[in-house]
Structure 1
Amino acid sequence: MDLLERVQRRAMKMIRGMEHVSYEDRLRQLGLFSLENRRLQGDLIAAFQYLKDAYKKAGEGLFTRASSDRMRGNGFKLEEGRFRLDIRKKFFTVRVVRHWNRLSREAVDAPSLEMYKARLDGDLSNLI
């Protein structure tokens, strides 16, 4: 757990009536995600922008689309790379692919960024 997460935990304990509630329950009651999940949410939003929207030109070689005719879930699956070095697992493209492939078809096929964000919130609350 990083420093920011500890600060958020401590700050949430100061909320009256939530002193003895677990961190996860406090997040759920307040309708918030943990910082790690918010980081993932930001990464998935950036991936959507690279793949569909604002940065399409720059993102053309960033991700590789999976080629398979037997796909369930969303029809826009990305290919996962395999690396021997652990440091590569932290790269943006590697971090995002597994979670992107688990998103619903409705989220991935969203016509706008605002609709994607709304659908992503629902998917993340179900996935995580």
Structure 2
Amino acid sequence: MWLDGCIQSIVVNGSMSRWRSEKNAVPQRFTLGPVLFNIFTNDRNVEIECTLSSFADDTKQSGAVDVPEGWDAIQRDLGTLEKWACVNLVRFHGAECRVLHLGCGKLWYQYRLRDEWIKSSPDVKDLGVLVDETLDVSQQCALTAQKANHILGYIKSSMASTSREVILPLYSALARPHLDYCIQFWSPQHKKDMDLLEWVRRRATKMARGLEHLS
């Protein structure tokens, strides 16, 4: 999402769960669970003015706030969501909800969910990707490089062989997915961020015997 001028976007992120005990349930980590949950919550966007998106039990509400009417629309939608939750015997975890302000404007409003104020946050981690209020991906690149680098350390300390037949498959299976995950979204633009990620790849090349000259 790209915002120009002083348009401000508010993203509210929260989890939902059933509070009524059930005798039958779908085991966790099964694809069927999120599918059934999405079917159950498919009518969440009824009478919602702002943009509403969801994945499994996470719901995100966003809207442009450059005039007070924008704040009113978001707050009304929060009330609509809360009414929907009460009717369907689910609840939003207020402690897990966050408000993320994006854009150049300074109209930072506060929002309520039930009788609680929702806390503002300078960044939000969504599906493993860190998004901050400046849309800068440097922190995401640093965290990604750190994870991949730790995995390379485990590979180096636990494997007796450093042949390319051993190191490259392990790198491709364990470390590279962290470097490639959702990179279409957080694709780095700064040279320092690209160099940081490239350093991890060069380290993996140095670890493989016979490929040192490529690093």
One fold, TM greater than 0.5? no
Taking structure 1 as the reference length, what is the TM-score of the superposition?
0.28
- Larger strand proportion of the pair: 2
Q: Which has the larger radius of gyration?
A: 2
